């Protein structure tokens, strides 16, 4: 099942934070932010860095997208 990082973007808006500020606070590269923006694969370490930087849980930054049933 694919994962979306839409909750992350909603959270940084709620926190009145820019992607750049979140990136520097978490110590991430611009390429990693681009991957997150495309709902790409990122490591558990990246997700942990974000959660530590934003003082949140994994469920606050990512969600599982249910797949459409095959017909």
Q: What integer pLDDT is reported at residue 18 of this predicted model?
A: 95
Q: Does the predicted model carry a pTM greater than 0.85?
A: yes
User: Is pLDDT at 71 greater than 80 in this prediction?
Assistant: no
As a residue count, the chain comes to: 71
Q: Provide the CATH number for the domain formed by 3-64 in this structure.
A: 1.10.260.40
Q: Where are the domains of the chain?
A: 3-64
State the DSSP string of 17-64.
--HHHHHHHHT--HHHHHHHHTT----HHHHHHHHHHHT--GGGT-EE
Tell me which residue of 64, 61, 11, 6 sits closest to 38, measured CA to CA: 6
């Amino acid at each position: 099942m694919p994962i979306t990082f839409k909750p992350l973007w909603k959270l940084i808006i709620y926190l009145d934070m820019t992607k750049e500020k979140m990136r520097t606070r978490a110590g991430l590269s611009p390429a990693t932010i681009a991957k997150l923006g495309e709902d790409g694969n990122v490591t558990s370490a990246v997700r942990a860095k974000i959660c530590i930087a934003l003082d949140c849980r994994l469920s606050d930054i990512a969600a599982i997208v249910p797949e459409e049933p095959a017909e």
